[in-house]
Amino acid sequence: MRIIVAAIGRLKQGPETELAERYRKRAAQVGRSLGLRDVEIVEIRESRAEDAGKRMIEESIALATIIPQGAAVVLLDPRGDNLDSAGLANQLAKWRGAAKPVAVFVIGGPDGLAASLADKADVKLAFGAATWPHQLVRVMLMEQLYRAATILTGHPYHRA
């Protein structure tokens, strides 16, 4: 199973990018023993439309086009479920056991995502009730994917 993180916007060079890449590499390395082939980041340019509704639709269409057939879709949404790390690990294990070819984690833009894309989500995941900058959301997601892989392999990184 592959993992794709599809995000609106590009991270500029800096500490957030370095930290996200460090966790991405760790997740990919630990994940190999679990049958996770790769952890890939796909960045999609923000829409330049003047209207927020149009930006949301354009960005949602761009995201939808990269979601492969049969993928498990996780939408990062502040109104989503607050899964703990073990819960995320269990969800990944279920999808792997169900032979899902890929799990796609979707990080929308500042205007959110169209309902048509949100309706395709298998899971809506929140990192608490606070509003987080997109750069930090990506870092936190990459860390949680690494943590989930370590939980599934029994690695001591995660201590509950």
Mean pLDDT of 61-80: 95
Is residue 144 assigned to a domain? yes
Which CATH number do you get for residue 30?
3.40.1280.10
Structure confidence at residue 51 (pLDDT): 95
pLDDT tens profile 71-100: 999 999 988 999 999 999 999 999 999 999
Is residue 142 assigned to a domain? yes
The structural domain count of the chain equals: 1
Provide the mean pLDDT of the chain: 93
The larger pLDDT score, comparing residue 130 to residue 93, is at 93
Structure confidence at residue 159 (pLDDT): 67
* Domain around 41: 2-153
Amino acid of residue 123: V
Max distance between CA atoms of the chain, in angstroms, equals 49
pTM: 0.93
Structure confidence at residue 78 (pLDDT): 87
Is residue 159 assigned to a domain? no
